[in-house]
Structure 1
Amino acid sequence: MKVSKYIFIATAVLLASCSNTRYLKEGEALYTGSEINIIGDSLSKTQIAKLKSSLESQLVPRPNKSIFGLRPKLLIYNIAPETKKDKGFKYWLKYKVGEKPVLLKDVDTDFMRSIIDNYSENQGYFNVSSNYQIDSINKRAEVIYNVQPKNQYKIGKVIFNNNDSKLTEAIAKTADKSLLKVGSPFNLDVIKDERIRIDSDLKEKGYYYFNPDDILVQVDSTVGNHKVDLIVKVKNKTAELATEPFTIERVIVFADYKLNTNQNTTRRRNRTINLNRIDSLQNDKGITIIDRKKLFKPEIFDHALYFQKGDLYNVKDQNLSLSRLINLGTFKFVKNEFVISDSLNHKFDAYYYLTPNEFKSLRLEFLAKTNSAGYAGSELNLNWSNRNFFKGAELFTASIYGGFEYQIGGVKDANNIYRIGSKFNLLFPRIIAPFKFHSSSAFVPRTKVALGYEYQNRTQLYTLHNFSGSFGYVWKENIKKEHELNIVDISYVTPETITEKYRQQMENNLSLQRVVEKQLIFGPHYAYTYTNTMIPQKNSIYYKGSLDLSGNIIGILSGANVRKGNQKEILGVAYSQFVKTEHDFRYYLKLGEKSQLATRVVGGIGYAYGNSQFMPFSRQFFIGGSNSIRAFRARTLGPGSFDPRTESGTFLQDQSGDIKMEFNAEYRGHLFGLVNGAVFVDAGNVWNLNKEPSKPGGQFSSDFYRELAVGVGAGLRFDFSILIFRTDLAFPVRVPYYPRGDRWNFKDIDFGDKQWRRDNLILNIAIGYPF
């Protein structure tokens, strides 16, 4: 009965969408679209296809959206009840979900003909004629535009007019960069882009007041043979200020500028400030700094400002200076102006007005959390920050935190976690090094110093002390490329207590032993990130690669070799020696205005050698959870085909590996309002490089692809603008620790079975997208 009901509804919808025209008034016709018909044999197939595509993109209005020839949005508009209100469900259904009919009378055919003719001429088809015809049947109408172009004109010569002035000479020197190429088709858009290019080039040579409208490109179509000569020149009526380059006379910084005061009025009334009468000083670059409260060290502006006395005005340096001042994070408002010097010709005084942020802040955070590993708990964070710690725009942050997590999966109270710790970070807005570092990026390079400590208590198991520290640099080449290099990255882990219960279980389990062994890790760490996801475009990518080294140099110099019984120690602790690399690649394919296909590939490997036989536990790979393979709980999958259910004990053990592979694909689409939906598939696993008796099946081999776990699911994303609240429901369709031949379990899927749901469905709740 239910199936018949659904078939009936679907059939009714199809029939109704086919009869949208019955809602039209007498004499009205539904506009179904337009077609461009190129007539003539003077154009090549490539030219015809390009012109046809370009002209069709100019046609308006667009017909009602259709899917497989049906127009469901128009149907909803037609059947939805009328309402006088501009809000409410009826209004939303009719005008937001539905779509008003586009009628033939809405099409201005004569206007579109003029658009077609003008556009064709702008593409070099100077002799074009067009007409149109309307094909109408059963209250449906289509407009066909017949376009008959002649030969396309091409560029014969490009002449840069040089009348011996500094301006025309500067323009002529850019001829080798010109977008106007001999032999290329005439194109008005390219001419417009050429004017913008010339203006941009001049802005880097001091011509502050010049603009693209001062350029004139004359077209000479009398040369014959379907060619035109283009003459690039400066308009005769160009303002005198635009014809001269400007240099910088003074750079003046108001470091504590107050908004909404009479300071602005006073400054504008007297442009030439008498710096001898106010409390000011100059830094090493000759920049005048007005800082009555002595808030900042003068050196801060050496790194942020690119202008100094005598420099030629350059728009690139101007933008770099503004971007760097903003990226310092110390100033709430940044603005500048260039004022013509009263006493000198073609010289600027550059003023920068900076309004500082509040330097100090104190924030208390309370977090409640749950994760797919079977834990629920909360955390309390007290954070203090200072944006100008040493009066050089340094950012210092200190945080103290404490939290607990109760195990709600497995055996209760067997492995609850209590944590308390602190973190200290200091960011300098410059590179502190024995060598000189120069960056032309708009982003301020930073030196980072970090210290941390955490005390962790896993009840009935063990307690650990974790000390960490690092010194390194963060810098961006541009908005897409970022580098992070920690010259020194140190981590020291030492146990305080180990319970008898844990000792008994780790006696024959090497993985459990490594969790509580003393670990000393030190060495450099490098990460590179490339992304263009912040730039509006159809497709975008994200890539992050990292290289982690520990104990390599000292291990090589000391000849450490644990396999030969020659293990070295520092302060009584055997240090770790390994190489680890990880790579995360993501590709986002835009399918529609509010839909996309997001894919991710993650791969990593860690190799211990010299002073270490195994990778330290804290540096191994883990898989599963809300941001990984969502059909498996966090850290419960792998390594390889090892079955975690066979492990004896009263607590959930973390599964780790030296090799990681992960593949994810997710379709994201808009449902309604702030609700988005997704369907996804995740696959992957971790493996060990070495064979471990306590983890049978966990070693990497040529059959690794037979040990990939696969999960599928669907979820909702609630977009609150400031955050994305995400729920994902997933279940496994391939389990690597099942017997070979039975790892795919499609045949076992039974949503109606309560026990199957309890054993297989995993609900993930998280903030933000998984990737």
Structure 2
Amino acid sequence: MINKPIYYLLFIALLFAYGCSNTKYLAEGQMLYTGGEVTVKDSLISGKERKVIKQQLEGLLRPKPNKSFLGLRIKLYIYNIAGEPKKEKGLRYWLRNKVGEPPVLFSQVDRDYNADVVQNYVENQGYFQTRTTTDSVSKNRRAKAIYKVVTGKQYTIRKVIFPKDTMTSALDSTIATVKRRSLLKKGQPYSLDVIKQERERIDQRLKNKGYYYFNPDFLLVQVDSTVGSNEVDLIVKVKEETPERARKVYKINDIYVYPNYSLSNVKDTVRYSTDSIQKYKDFTIIDPEHTFRPIIFDRTLFFHKGDKYSRKDHNLSLNRLVSLGTFKFVKNEFRLSKSEENSLDAYYFMTPLERKSLRFEVLGKSNSANYNGSEVNVNWSNRSAFRAAELVNVSVFGGLEVQVAGQNKGFNVYRVGGETSITWPRFISPIKIADSSAFIPRTRALISYEYQKRQKLYALNSFKGSFGYLWRNNSRVEHQLMVTDINYVSPANVTPLYQEMADNNSALQKVIDKQLIFGPTYSYTYTNTAQKRKENTFYYKGSFDLAGTIAGLVTGANVKKGKESHVLGVAFSQFIKMEHDFRHYLKLSEKSQLATRFVAGIGMPYGNSTELPFIRQFFIGGSNSIRAFRARSIGPGSFRPEVAANDFLPDQSGDIKLEMSTEYRAKLFSIVHGALFVDAGNIWLWNDDPDKPGGKFSKDFLSEMAVGTGAGLRFDLSFLVLRFDLAFPLRKPYLPESERWVIKDIDFGSKYWRRENLVFNIAIGYPF
């Protein structure tokens, strides 16, 4: 009988033989290139500096050796065993050319070229006394290139000399004024890359001051390395051969706008009759069909006649034209004016999108209550309803949501409804609001209706209307202020089954009570998650909801003192609510990351309310929350409802919420990704509820946190992500305080434990 150590030795031997087998396919005299190695030897710099330089230099070496995993070049092996295909199709051709990888030979390596690349790179980082030598080592038909680098001490900047602010040259004087935020600083290491960035910075500043024809190549940064020991002086100059027009400041003269520019027939677009020309303020608009009202361009373009040219205003104007959402293509040109010296004529060419469109959508949906389903939408849009880029949207929808796994399986949800909205590309307000961002601010009005039927239980009619503003400071920050947000919910078709349960449970009754909510809402969103190369990215959304405040003050509502006020026969809700959702994404490698989320929310009912209305309360648990517990089944606090196995499980809600999640995500292969996660949190009530003992928030809230963990698979199909998570609880807040940690009870072999604790979630998209 062979013991385990011998198995391990045989396995290692097989791997070694497998790794060596690639060389037998090489022709006589050929050697497999296994990579380049850089050795930095210099006692004048620290070990940390040497390590950084070594990593940077090895990344510059070419060619790259064959890819390997644990020392095994699997792709090369597949290439070799596939052999030469006889035709350009079939399995052998696919394995060799699509899966496999041809050998990288040592004869393909130009060591002298690599040595020059290494030498130049190090010198460009300020190591002016660098010496680079190259060699190679070979064994068993494998060869490696060796590069030895002796750097010397890195040079630092002693002084940066800019042109003087004199009256002899306007350009020199302007450059002198922009030196305050220079990237070249005394005491910093010399770097050619930073010098290039500084030239770009100066050019950008000059462009904003009217120097339209200037470019970074007209700047010269001289390096004087004779001024001291390992120090340099940098002298910033304008090259003598700089053309005269690059030294001049230009102003905007005439502004021409072509809002119906055709890429397919430029001549017909530019040719126009006198009747086609429309003068509006500083703009000459060529729009024969009068597709757009001229005011839209006055609101969008930053340039006006007589303005000094500015690259910032140039880009802002283009960005705003694009963000209108009305044009398919936007192009801009500046030409020397023939009628005005040192002036530019600006031309804007826009190709509009189809004004009206009809779109039919079929969607897959998933929500935090662990319901999954589909929805059909029909959307009609008019992108310029009143000829000033106003967007009118009318949509109707219908959908079905089912719970695949969970106690509410069979209580399906049917939804039908419609929505109409109009969005203006400006602020509509009695108060003038200044706007100088690259993104068009928007004013939106919306009305909607939804009929929701929960099978076997009840139906709800929901009416909503809102009016407010959306604006962005930049690509990362977004604001939404709804000046008024009205929501009215009325029940219909309540079944005897549900009414019987509601008669014994005030929480269930609140679901079918009439609800009226009105007041302003505000949300702030920051995200830089689109920057895929950053190691750390963040997402934050904060929202604030203020309902019924003015109505409560006017009517003197105080439900605790028996004075409940009504509007149109319905008791309105009065509360303050805010919620914070913070997420952090740590990039561990190209194929893995650590995602963390923290959510905190609080709602304070007062005046006409003792608790938040049901549709504005917090919920926790489910596929997008704490996945080890069934949807909306946790809390509030240590409360646990007593529900028979086959009865409807009511949603547990609260006025306060805390939730935390950490998830390790990694790509496994192809479209398959994996995840390991830990979730924690709970909800609580602001006031005592005799029907929910233990539900009120107290100083012991940490001892009432639910904790769960699990693993999952995600299938990234590009157009959607299909997610499967399997989770189980580590801490149950509804148990006696000394028994809440249930780690010791975990028993995957027990059928009873699996039935009571394993929760399988199916969802679309990532949980956060």
Corresponding residue for residue 292 of structure 1:
288
1-structure distance, mates of 2:36, 2:406: 65
Corresponding residue for residue 592 of structure 2:
595
Corresponding residue for residue 19 of structure 2:
20
Matched, 1:216 2:253: no
* Match for residue 438 of structure 1 among 420, 426, 434: 434
2-structure distance, mates of 1:290, 1:306: 19
* Shift in Å, 1:544: 0.7
- Give the 3-state SS of the residue equivalent to 2:608 in structure 1: coil
C-alpha change, 1:358 and 1:22, in structure 2 (3 Å) is closer
Corresponding residue for residue 110 of structure 1:
112
723-732 or 210-219, larger mean C-alpha shift: 723-732
582-591 or 88-97, larger mean C-alpha shift: 88-97
- Give the 3-state SS of the residue equivalent to 1:223 in structure 2: strand
Corresponding residue for residue 716 of structure 2:
719
- Give the 3-state SS of the residue equivalent to 2:392 in structure 1: strand
Confirm or deny: 8 A CA contact 1:256 1:356 kept in the other structure.
Answer: yes
Confirm or deny: 8 A CA contact 2:636 2:685 kept in the other structure.
Answer: yes
1-structure distance, mates of 2:408, 2:239: 83
* Match for residue 676 of structure 2 among 679, 683, 689: 679
- Give the 3-state SS of the residue equivalent to 2:117 in structure 1: helix
* Shift in Å, 1:407: 7.0
Confirm or deny: 8 A CA contact 2:78 2:96 kept in the other structure.
Answer: yes
* Match for residue 764 of structure 1 among 751, 761, 764: 761
C-alpha change, 1:683 and 1:88, in structure 2 (3 Å) is farther
Matched, 1:82 2:83: yes
Confirm or deny: 8 A CA contact 2:119 2:131 kept in the other structure.
Answer: yes
291-300 or 143-152, larger mean C-alpha shift: 143-152
C-alpha change, 1:349 and 1:137, in structure 2 (3 Å) is same
C-alpha change, 1:591 and 1:409, in structure 2 (3 Å) is closer
* Match for residue 567 of structure 1 among 561, 564, 568: 564
- Give the 3-state SS of the residue equivalent to 2:20 in structure 1: helix
- Give the 3-state SS of the residue equivalent to 2:172 in structure 1: helix
| Cα deviation digits, residues 509-535 of structure 1 (max 9, x gap) | 121121122222111111111100112
Q: Which amino acid aligns with 1:419?
A: R
* Shift in Å, 1:598: 1.7
| Cα deviation digits, residues 196-255 of structure 1 (max 9, x gap) | 111111111222222111112222334344433322222222233322222111111112
Residue correspondences, number: 761
Q: TM-score scaled by structure 1?
A: 0.89
Confirm or deny: 8 A CA contact 2:33 2:144 kept in the other structure.
Answer: yes
Confirm or deny: 8 A CA contact 2:413 2:452 kept in the other structure.
Answer: yes
C-alpha change, 1:734 and 1:30, in structure 2 (3 Å) is farther
2-structure distance, mates of 1:214, 1:383: 53
* Match for residue 670 of structure 1 among 664, 667, 672: 667
Q: CA RMSD in A?
A: 3.4
2-structure distance, mates of 1:685, 1:312: 58
2-structure distance, mates of 1:489, 1:152: 63
Corresponding residue for residue 239 of structure 1:
243
Confirm or deny: 8 A CA contact 2:76 2:103 kept in the other structure.
Answer: no
* Shift in Å, 1:21: 3.0
* Shift in Å, 1:340: 1.5
* Shift in Å, 1:570: 2.4
- Give the 3-state SS of the residue equivalent to 1:221 in structure 2: strand
* Shift in Å, 1:48: 4.5
Confirm or deny: 8 A CA contact 2:725 2:760 kept in the other structure.
Answer: yes
Matched, 1:463 2:493: no
Confirm or deny: 8 A CA contact 1:381 1:402 kept in the other structure.
Answer: yes
Confirm or deny: 8 A CA contact 1:608 1:615 kept in the other structure.
Answer: yes
1-structure distance, mates of 2:341, 2:406: 81
Corresponding residue for residue 313 of structure 2:
317
C-alpha change, 1:14 and 1:646, in structure 2 (3 Å) is farther
C-alpha change, 1:738 and 1:90, in structure 2 (3 Å) is farther
2-structure distance, mates of 1:631, 1:88: 47
C-alpha change, 1:150 and 1:402, in structure 2 (3 Å) is closer
Corresponding residue for residue 270 of structure 1:
none
Q: Which amino acid aligns with 1:234?
A: V
Matched, 1:149 2:147: no
636-645 or 241-250, larger mean C-alpha shift: 636-645
1-structure distance, mates of 2:556, 2:94: 74
Confirm or deny: 8 A CA contact 1:216 1:235 kept in the other structure.
Answer: yes
- Give the 3-state SS of the residue equivalent to 1:125 in structure 2: coil
* Match for residue 127 of structure 1 among 111, 126, 129: 129
Confirm or deny: 8 A CA contact 2:162 2:237 kept in the other structure.
Answer: yes
| Cα deviation digits, residues 50-105 of structure 1 (max 9, x gap) | 544543443444455566x6436468547854352777666666666666555554
Confirm or deny: 8 A CA contact 1:76 1:94 kept in the other structure.
Answer: no
1-structure distance, mates of 2:503, 2:580: 35
* Shift in Å, 1:472: 1.0
Confirm or deny: 8 A CA contact 2:710 2:726 kept in the other structure.
Answer: yes
Q: Which amino acid aligns with 1:114?
A: D
Structure 1's unaligned 5+ residue stretches are 268-272
Q: Which amino acid aligns with 2:72?
A: R
Corresponding residue for residue 190 of structure 1:
194
Confirm or deny: 8 A CA contact 2:635 2:695 kept in the other structure.
Answer: yes
* Match for residue 484 of structure 1 among 473, 480, 489: 480
| Cα deviation digits, residues 430-482 of structure 1 (max 9, x gap) | 11112221222211111111112223344554333322111111111101111
Corresponding residue for residue 252 of structure 1:
256
* Shift in Å, 1:560: 2.7
Corresponding residue for residue 698 of structure 2:
701
23-32 or 653-662, larger mean C-alpha shift: 23-32
C-alpha change, 1:10 and 1:205, in structure 2 (3 Å) is farther
Q: Which amino acid aligns with 1:221?
A: S
Matched, 1:394 2:387: no
Confirm or deny: 8 A CA contact 2:515 2:573 kept in the other structure.
Answer: yes
Corresponding residue for residue 654 of structure 1:
651
C-alpha change, 1:43 and 1:598, in structure 2 (3 Å) is closer
1-structure distance, mates of 2:691, 2:313: 62
C-alpha change, 1:364 and 1:99, in structure 2 (3 Å) is closer
Corresponding residue for residue 354 of structure 2:
358
Q: TM-score scaled by structure 2?
A: 0.89
365-374 or 470-479, larger mean C-alpha shift: 365-374
2-structure distance, mates of 1:369, 1:679: 23
393-402 or 158-167, larger mean C-alpha shift: 158-167
2-structure distance, mates of 1:197, 1:86: 52
2-structure distance, mates of 1:8, 1:601: 47
Matched, 1:549 2:551: no
Corresponding residue for residue 177 of structure 2:
173
| Cα deviation digits, residues 716-752 of structure 1 (max 9, x gap) | 3333333333333444444433555555555665666
Q: Which amino acid aligns with 1:121?
A: E
Structure 2's unaligned 5+ residue stretches are none
385-394 or 494-503, larger mean C-alpha shift: 494-503
Confirm or deny: 8 A CA contact 1:489 1:522 kept in the other structure.
Answer: yes
2-structure distance, mates of 1:155, 1:437: 47
C-alpha change, 1:419 and 1:123, in structure 2 (3 Å) is closer
- Give the 3-state SS of the residue equivalent to 1:323 in structure 2: helix
2-structure distance, mates of 1:448, 1:165: 51
Q: Which amino acid aligns with 1:294?
A: H
Q: Which amino acid aligns with 2:112?
A: D
1-structure distance, mates of 2:764, 2:279: 48
Confirm or deny: 8 A CA contact 2:370 2:762 kept in the other structure.
Answer: no
Confirm or deny: 8 A CA contact 2:643 2:649 kept in the other structure.
Answer: no
354-363 or 94-103, larger mean C-alpha shift: 94-103
Matched, 1:509 2:513: no
* Shift in Å, 1:44: 5.3
* Shift in Å, 1:551: 1.6
Confirm or deny: 8 A CA contact 1:16 1:75 kept in the other structure.
Answer: no
Q: Which amino acid aligns with 1:293?
A: E
1-structure distance, mates of 2:694, 2:125: 67
Q: Which amino acid aligns with 1:299?
A: I
Confirm or deny: 8 A CA contact 1:17 1:75 kept in the other structure.
Answer: no
Matched, 1:421 2:423: no
